[in-house]
Every structure is written in C-alpha cells, then in structure tokens.
Amino acid sequence: MALKRLRVFSTTWEAGMAQSLLEGEGIHAIVEDSIVDRVLPWMPSSQMGAWLQVDESEFEQAAQVLADWDASTPLEESEEPEGDGADEEEPE
C-alpha cells in the first residue's frame, strides 16, 4: 500500500473530521501529525500541520469526497459590509 498525501489541515481535529468522513465512505485514511498536536490538541499545528493520507488507488475518490464536502459545507456568514451610505435614505 503506497500512501499519498491528500490534504494538510491546521489541526489534528480537522484532519480527524475528514478522516471520519472518508472512512464513512469506505476509504481508509491515516492522519499524520507532529508531537505538538498530541500534547496540545487545541493549539494550531506546527509548520508541518496535520496531513491526511490515503492509498494511491483511492486518491481520486477521496479527493472527490472532500471536494463534495467542501462544496456542501456553508461558510460562516460574515457581517454585512459597510457601505458608503449612497444607497441609504437620510432621516427626516
């Protein structure tokens, strides 16, 4: 089994979420991380990050599963952008 790095995450927690998603689809995935991540899991990873690896034979399928997940996961709504007031009515 030849492993191929699929994606790098900033935390092992995020990588573990993706690993669970892939394994739910029948794709075996392995998370590699630095020792810092195991000691302080809530801290951002070191420069290496936490990376998710899959077998080369399942790479394309795994990449598609994550791409579909990314597309279906809504981003947090940001605050309304502040305008220049040109469209706002002036109070009477």
In tens, the pLDDT along 63-88 reads 999 999 988 876 655 544 455 555 55
Residue 91 reports pLDDT greater than 80? no
Domains and their CATH numbers in the chain? 3-72 (3.30.70.1530)
Over 70: is that where the pLDDT of 49 sits? yes
- The secondary structure of residue 73, as a DSSP letter, is S
Examine the pLDDT at 42 and tell me if it is beyond 70: no
Side-chain-side CA neighbours of 74 within 13 Å: the count stands at 3
